[in-house]
Amino acid sequence: MKKFFILIGLALLLTFSQMNVAFAAQSDGYVHKNHYYAVSFDGEGDAIVRAQIDIENTLNQPRKWIDLEIPGQVVVYKAVQESPVRSPIEYSKTLTSSATILHLELKESIPMNGTGTIVLFYKIPKYAEKDLVGNYNFDFKTIIDKDAILIENLRVAINVQEGLFMKGGEAEVDYRPNTWFMGEMAMTQVKDVGIESPYYRDYYYSIRNAQGLVKSATNLDPFESFHVKGNYGENWLALYFLDVIAGIIGAAILIIVSIFGFRKIKKWLNLKNLKEKNTKGNEYVHSALVAFGSATAIVITTGVLFLIAAMISSFSYSLQWISMLIGLLGLLVSFGLLFLPSLYISSKKGIIQGAIVFFLTVFFLIAMSIFLGIAYTVLFPPVIYY
């Protein structure tokens, strides 16, 4: 019985301690549930930003004042409180050497255990830096709130002005008006219209689902900015110059190594003499060489056609159908290089040798894919840091 009461006492003590921790956490700060950013870069390196911040008040009192630190020297066009009520926000600015601190006074306080949404339209002049070849390099940094304790979800979508190319892997850039890209003229118009205007609402509602170069993160420290780095420019070749050179060098190295390896193996095994003897060992070696050549041809063909398709697609989205045709051509060529050598060997030397060629080709493809993936990761590490 005494042990039973001791266990009950320990359970109650643990429960009360957890409650105290919860109440302490509640009084430490509030939570940013979501950060959404729609960022548009123009041909001058300016960043036009729309930001939506959803806040959950976990404090034990309403919250009327919010201080937000925005990296860079910011020009604010509009600040709006969307919930609990839709209303313009009165604000003041404090400039530091590397950031702008906005002191926001909400029209209606965010109640305890309630939520609120803040929407900002602002510009950061000359945010992207121009390099020697004419490309712009950007490092977009998200907003900091030192009074918060957590940012649960964050999403950044970056677009560039029509006529510019952005380096962003498979990211889709959409230039349709009144949706994801927003220029300075549109920002000025949003500043001049009221918050009930459809013009404002169109740009506000499109923040959450803006497309382009999209990066996201969860459970971030609110004392640090989430960084999205990238490049854009007017000339596609200048933008991808190093990638093209690296691809050409890589393909050349692969071809040279393949030729050198083939000659070494041929010399080592003395294939000319073995061919006359027509031994089983010679057949296996010949099948392995055919498989290696097929795999190498598939990799080179796929890489070249992919590069051509990417170049055409980057010029205009109206030319995507050509890129799709090139991709289909690459698929057909790859299937041909995969199956035709096996069928040919089967017709000449039997089904066993044909099967060996097929499976060795698949094996070499997997090995080359792993090697090229590792090499690409080493040469082109990710550009997203937080």
Residue 72 phi, psi (nearest 5): 100, 170
Query: Which conformational region is residue 356 in: left (phi greater than 0), alpha (psi within -120 to 50 degrees), or beta?
Result: alpha
The 3 state secondary structure assigned to 143-183 is CECCCEEEEEEEEEEEEECCCCEEECCCCCCCCCCCCCCCC
41 contacts 110 by C-beta, under 8 angstroms: no
Q: What is the predicted pLDDT for the residue at 143?
A: 95
Lowest pLDDT segment from 18-22, 54-58, 157-161: 18-22
- Put the strands of the sheet holding 213-220 in their side by side order: 87-88, 75-83, 115-124, 47-56, 30-41, 148-160, 213-220
> pLDDT digit string (tens) for 335-385?
888 888 888 888 878 888 888 888 888 888 888 888 877 776 666 555 443
Confidence of residue 309 (pLDDT cuts 50, 70, 90): confident
> pLDDT digit string (tens) for 103-148?
999 999 999 999 999 999 999 999 999 888 888 999 999 999 999 9
Token pair belonging to 211: 């497309």
Q: Domains of the chain, with CATH numbers?
A: 28-233 (2.60.40.1730), 241-385 (no CATH)
> What's the pTM?
0.63
Lowest pLDDT segment from 245-249, 266-270, 310-314, 342-346: 266-270
- Give the mean pLDDT of the chain: 79
Residue 214 CB coordination number (10 Å): 16
Q: Kindly provide the b/e burial profile for residues 253-270, where b requires at least 16 CB atoms within 10 angstroms of the residue's own CB.
A: ebeeebeeeeeeeeeeee
Token pair belonging to 359: 């499976």
